[in-house]
Each structure stands twice: as structure tokens, then as C-alpha cells.
Structure 1
Amino acid sequence: LNSPKNALYFLGCILVGVLTLNLFLFNRHYLDSTRYILFTYMLINDTFQLSSSVLLFFFVMGKMKLSMIYCASLVFLSSVTFQNTPLILATMSLERYVAILYPLQRPAVWRSDRIWVIILSMLLTTSISNIVNYSIGVSDSAAVDILSTPVLCKVTVINTSQIQILFQVGVYIFLFALVTVVILFTYLRILLETRKMRQSKVSGSKAMHTVLLHGFQLLLCILAFINPITETLIVLHSNWLPEDIAFFNYFCFILTPRFLSPLIYGFRDQNLRGSLRKTILCCTDRVRPGKRGLPA
């Protein structure tokens, strides 16, 4: 194995580990809040997305072949979790909108004990779109034995027809356009409502900053689509090896944005920062040699 592969494997483990640490910091108190339930779902989604995409990239770089059924399952998981992210961002923005405009009469579906309906709806929506995408290409791969045929596991192996590519591009454009409209709508509505209600100006300002942060997170997700542009520029202006170009693009425009998005949002939250501080202090106190026999 060369150094880019080893570096990717090492960094992927670190990134997944940090996201898992964020999940560890949550307790039952956080899961009583709709906002934190959605954030927990985003962490779980991005952890699966990072894990599956790192595995896919590692298999391609190592030229490791898998049976078609395992490859399709891994690509399916990566695609579903990738499409879930913008929907989660839109839902979190709408949650802030509902919390500001309906603080006392929140709709039932936005309560913490009912939010699973929205989460399940997002998961079903992205799963169905990917199932339809795969169904379009079934006729092209009907002669392939999905149980025994080894393939180099890439998205292009699953999406073999031009119709599949156009369908997937259309889904991505629709999702990101929809989420952009939702984020802009919620930001403007919260801004107008905050100006009307002066007593909730502080909470409204925090909500606006949160929605803007969701817009920044969406921008990080869009970076995944500039791979062809950066790859062309690097090929024209450098002598890099193909695997080095692939590693650079994947690390900078797919892996890092996906890792930074929940991390920035999580550490911005005061409660999560407090939990992290308590965890670090607790671990530090355990390591530090104590003087139990001396009075305080």
C-alpha cells in the first residue's frame, strides 16, 4: 500500500472516531429536545456516510474487487446518506422556524416524541430515489450474476446507463435547490418575526445564526460536485500521479467538508461544549495523580 492509501485509512478512522465521540457526549437530557434529536441523526448519518465512502475509496485505490451485491449495498448506503444530509439541514432550519413562530403551540409532528416521523420520511425518500435509480439500470446488468461476479466497486459500475446518470443529477439538483429555498425562507421569516417581537430578540438572533450555519453546511456539501473541475485543473498544471489527484480531491472536497459540517455545528452549541469540557476534565482528573490523604 502506498502513502495516500495509508493516510486515507488513518484519517478516515480519526474522522469517524471524532463523530462517534460527539455521539458519546449526548445523554437522555439532549434526546428530550427535537433540535438535539435531529443533530444526533445528522451525526449518525454522517458517520455512516464517512465510513462507507472511505471504504469505497480504499477499495478503488487498492484495486480490491467485491461481488456485485456487496458493492451495490455499499454504494446504496453511501448514496442514501449523502442525499440525506441536505434534507436534514432543511429539517433543522424548519425546526428553528417552528420554535420561533410557534413557541407555545408547536405542531405535534415537531415534538420530540413525534420527530421520528419526519426522520423516517427523509430516510424513505432518499432510499426510494436510489431504488428507482438502480431499477432503471437493471436491464443493462441482467446478464451479470450479482452474487458471484467480482467488480471494482465504483459508482460507475452501478450507474451504467446515461438515463441513470441524468436521473441522479436531476435528484441532486432538486434536493439542493429545495434545501436552498427552505433555508432562505426560514431565515427571512425568522428575521421578520424577530423584528416584530422585541422580547424574543435574543433567541431570534440565535436562530438566524443557526439557519445561516445550515446554509454554510449546505455549501460544504456542494463542494463534493467540483471534483471534475479541480481534477482537470490539477492535470493541466501539475505532474501528479492519478492516485495522488484522486486522494487530494477526495480528502479536500468530500471527506473534510463532511467531517467539518457537524463538528462546527456541534461545538458551536453551548450545551455540547459544556458536556465536552466535563468529559475532558473528568478524564484529566482520572489521569492526574491525586492526594487523597491530604485535606482540601
Structure 2
Amino acid sequence: MGGLIFIFVQVLVAVFLCINFMLITTFFTKEFFYTTMRYILFAVTLLSDCVILIVTNLLIICNYLKITMNLWLCAIMFILSTVYSSVTPFTLTAMTLERYVAICMPLRHGDLCSTRCSLHCILLIHGLSSIHFIVDLSIYFASTSIKFYKQSMICNVWIFILYRWQDHLRNAIKTLYFLFMCITIVFSYVRIMKAARAASGEDRKSTWKGLKTVILHAFQLLLCLIQLWCPLIESAVLQTNVKAYINLRYVNYIIFYVASRCLSPLIYGLRDEKFFCAMKSYLLCGFYKKKNVI
């Protein structure tokens, strides 16, 4: 059973990586996309999702095949997985705020959501997302000897969690983050809802579309939030049944890592008319050229 789930995970990850790479390529086909804040943030989520899927899938492969690696390489993978597991939800929150500004503060949208502000926002997102690994690695390197760093072992995130209070601290930081994100989502939803009721005609249609986007962001953040509880559930199952624990880890990975990150292409890759038309044009153009060569 574990082997079948492992193969299924590999196929699923490969499919979503292909879709994300195609969307990233589409993003760079038009200047409008990489000079507009919401599309820039969309590209950040795509890149973040690609990194987290690649890194976590490599860890799954190494654990499944019992492949050992040097601690320094494991630390790099730990940093990437820790940072980019938070980059996506932070970016979703920023995208929600961008929709709020666009709908409720249209006159200030050009100033608040410029390309320069987008770059500052990306730096802030990565800075906040880096707090986890800075705390964990600082505690780890201060508590272990230099000889330990040269050892080879099967890489696991829990290697760098030496104390139980350290895990509680990580969960507290994540909880604070997600409380901030949830408050931001609810605030934006309420304000956009009021704007939708007050609008008329095309403005009402555009506002309701923005409201649906906020709801989808909220659902995606909910899936990311549930990731906090997965380690607690997995550790409880591990004490009773090892095989069930392995299968549960795969199920959690599929639902709360892969599935939650396939919503970004759905929200902007398919629902956004401009991006969908650009993607369609890019794909047809590529097919047309290929056909002519043959």
C-alpha cells in the first residue's frame, strides 16, 4: 500500500509542477503581468509552491529509499521547506489586501500597489517567513558540537527540534501568523462585501468577483492552517501503528501540501480572464510552431 501511495504522490507532484511551470512561463510573456502587483504576487505563490513541492518531495523520496545525506545539505532543505511553507500564506494575505485596496480604495491603488511596493512586500514576506528557521537553527547550532555536523543521516525536519518547548514556540509563532492572516481576510471580506452591496452595474460584478477570490484565498489559508495540527495527529498515530502513520503522512501531504497549493492556478490561472487568455495564446502558439516544423 505504501508503495502505491508513494507512486501516486510522485505522479501528482509531477503534474502540478508542470502546470505551475507553464503558468510561470505565461507570466513572463507579457509586460503587463510582471508590472502589476497582483500578478507579481501570483508568480511568487507559484514559485513558492514549486520550491516547497520539490523540496518536500525530495525528502519523501530520501525517506522512502532510506537515503542519507550530510547535515549541512539537510539544513539547506530544512531552511527552504520552513521558509516557503510560510511564504505562500503570507502572499495570499497580501493578494487579499491588494484586492481590498483595488475595490475599496481605487484612487490610491496605483500608489499603494506599484511595482516598487510589490518588491518591498515580497522582501517583507520572506523576512517574516524566515523567523522560524533562524530561531530553530540558532538553538540547534548552539546546542550541538561541530563533529555532529559532519554526520550523514536520513533528513527529517524534526532533527533540528531538540527541545519540546522549541516545538511549542514554533507552533505559537505560526498561530500568531495565521491569526493575523485570518483577521486580515475577514476584514477585507467585510469591507468588500459592503462595497459590493453599494456598487451597481459593472462595478457590482467586478466587486463580487473580487469577493469570491477572497473566499478562495480564505479556504486555501484554512488548508495551510490545518498543517499545524498534522504533526500532533501523526505523532499520536505513530504510537499505535507505524504503517498507519506512514500512510497518514502521505494523505496529509496530498491534502494539505499538494491540494492546498493547486488552488493558486485555479484562482488566477483559470478564473482571471487576462491571464487565461495569455496562457491559451501561449499554448496555441507553441503548438502552431511545432506543427509547422513537422
Alignment partner, residue 224 of structure 1: 227
Matches within 5 A, 1:28-177: 28-106=31-109, 108-142=111-145, 144-146=147-149, 148-177=150-179
Q: Does 1:9 align with 2:10?
A: yes
Deviation at 1:13, TM superposition (A): 2.7
Which AA in structure 2 matches 1:219?
Answer: L
Alignment partner, residue 268 of structure 1: 271
Which AA in structure 1 matches 2:154?
Answer: L
Alignment partner, residue 189 of structure 1: 191
Alignment partner, residue 253 of structure 2: 250
Q: Is the radius of gyration larger for structure 1 or structure 2?
A: 1
**In 2, Cα distance between equivalents of 1:36 and 1:136:** 37
Structure 1 67/235 Cα, relative in aligned 2: closer, same or farther at 3 Å?
closer
Q: Deviations over 1:20-62 (max 9, x none)?
A: 1110111322112111111011111111111111111111111
Q: Does the CA contact (< 8 Å) of 2:34 and 2:40 recur in 1?
A: yes
Deviation at 1:246, TM superposition (A): 3.3
TM-score normalised per structure 1: 0.86
Deviation at 1:125, TM superposition (A): 1.3
Q: CA RMSD in A?
A: 2.8
**In 2, Cα distance between equivalents of 1:120 and 1:33:** 17
Q: Does the CA contact (< 8 Å) of 1:65 and 1:152 recur in 2?
A: yes
Number of equivalent positions: 287
Q: Does the CA contact (< 8 Å) of 2:238 and 2:245 recur in 1?
A: no
TM-score normalised per structure 2: 0.86
Q: Deviations over 1:216-242 (max 9, x none)?
A: 111222343453547867998x99565
Alignment partner, residue 22 of structure 1: 23
Q: Secondary structure at the match of 2:69?
A: strand
Q: Does the CA contact (< 8 Å) of 1:42 and 1:85 recur in 2?
A: yes
**In 1, Cα distance between equivalents of 2:168 and 2:147:** 23
**In 2, Cα distance between equivalents of 1:162 and 1:143:** 23
Which AA in structure 1 matches 2:266?
Answer: I
**Farther off after superposition, 5-14 or 108-117:** 5-14
Structure 1 116/14 Cα, relative in aligned 2: closer, same or farther at 3 Å?
same
Q: Secondary structure at the match of 2:143?
A: helix
Any stretches of 5+ residues in structure 2 without a counterpart? none
Alignment partner, residue 198 of structure 1: 200
Which AA in structure 1 matches 2:18?
Answer: G
Deviation at 1:70, TM superposition (A): 0.9
